[in-house]
Amino acid sequence: MGVEITRGQGVINRAKTDYTPVGIRAGAFKLLPTLSSENEWRDNIYSSQFNTVDDFIFHIKPALAIQSDWNRHALAFILDSDLQSYASRDSEDKENYSFNLNGQFDVLKNSFAHTKLLYANQYEDRGQATSVFGDPSSGFIALKPTNFQSVEASLGYEHKINRIRFNLDNDTTHLHYQNGIAPVTFAIIDNDKNRSRLRNESSFRIGYEINPNYEAFLKTSYNFIDYDSQFGADGLQRSSIGYSGVTGIALDLTGKLTGDAYVGYQLQDYKDSQLTTVSGLTGGLGLKWSPTGLTSVKTNIDRSVNETIQGLTSGVFSTAMTVGVDHELLRNIILSANGGYTINEYQGGNDRVENVYSAGFSAKYLVNRHFYLASGYRTNTRSTNIANTDYDANSLYLTIGSQL
């Protein structure tokens, strides 16, 4: 007997009898608390090419999801966290957490508004070359990982008339970077002045339903990036405005193959005349495929412009490709594998080019609806055209989790 496939749903998210948490009912809401402990060994915690340092990292991950159970409209609150403690290098300890409130208001049968509010406290990974002092290869690594907070607010509306669908969205994000401390001299690294910024993007999408399985669409967007300080420590003005336009197609083949593909042009123009305009081909591909009821495949390709403060480099054109496979070996054993490749092309400056490769596999064992075990392996490799900036990093982990 085959497994019933819910439209667009993969193996990981599929409800499983006797193994899916039921949550706690509170009136018209359902509470889904989880708590997991992950023990990880990483062989290169600073993402360095030379003199690599390994360490054990202990993760505690409490989380809570509160979801409405209404006939119309929807509201959800999600608390997520990852508290990391390093066995030997406590300067690397991190407290990552986020609060996410999102909702949907059903206006008509084919019209709805949606909104999201998000606050997150996070830390940049060591080896992050989009900054100056996060990359050990620069020879000037901060004493602690760069801490930053993000506040995001988004609002959107979708309306469908016969075969025509309209989408109007606006997303605003503010990033606030905490200052760092330099080694040896203990001087202040002014991340706040150099990197804190506001980004606003507005987009309009119109789609035409060719038939129930295919929808052709056009999408345009406009963004502005406004740095909190007009001039950075290097005297440059990195605020900018940008535009993009793409055309594509969305598909849904009986729920077994869903996704979209699009291609177009993107431009980001910087306020400082010393920074070159970044422009070129943009596009993306996102597909979910369920070849059988026991296996799901997800692939994604995205090309976009990212920020940096490296010298006279204006921006980074990043093309990222990922693929992941999940397989239900038994009802309570799920095997997963994933791989990725990203090429980062720095525009201007030293014309840095990075090739980043990632791969991993894991196994998850559902003991019952309240407990699970997971274990896996992850690897990352970076190679660049700049001397002494390559690295390899590997990690192994074991997770024990609980859920209600």
Within a domain: 134: yes
Within a domain: 243: yes
pLDDT digits (tens, 9 = 90+) for 327-357: 999 999 999 999 999 999 999 888 899 999 9
What is the structure's pLDDT at 3? 46
Report whether pLDDT(58) > 70.
yes
Q: Which two tokens stand for residue 249?
A: 């197609």
pLDDT digits (tens, 9 = 90+) for 33-46: 999 999 999 999 99
CA distance 44 to 138: 16
What is the structure's pLDDT at 1? 36
Which residue is associated with the tokens 């990852």? 82
Within a domain: 363: yes
Q: What is the CATH number of the domain that holds 316?
A: 2.40.170
CA distance 195 to 174: 11
The parent domain of residue 334 ranges over: 24-403
**216 DSSP β-pair partners:** 208, 249
Least confident range of 47-61, 184-198, 314-328, 361-375: 184-198
pLDDT digits (tens, 9 = 90+) for 74-126: 999 999 999 999 999 999 999 999 999 999 999 988 899 999 999 999 999 88
Contact residues for 151 (Cβ-Cβ < 8 A; gap 6+): 118, 119, 173, 174, 176
E strand spans, 74-196: 74-86, 94-108, 111-123, 147-161, 164-177, 180-181, 188-189
Rounded mean pLDDT of the chain? Answer: 92
Within a domain: 28: yes
Within a domain: 3: no
Helix (H) or strand (E) holding 399: strand 391-403
Within a domain: 63: yes
Within a domain: 60: yes
Q: What is the mean pLDDT of residues 355-381?
A: 96
> Confidence band (pLDDT; 50, 70, 90) for 7?
low
Number of structural domains the chain divides into: 1
What is the structure's pLDDT at 179? 92
The whole-angstrom distance between residue 164's C-alpha and the CA centroid of its chain comes to 30
End-to-end CA distance of the chain: 30
CA distance 296 to 316: 32
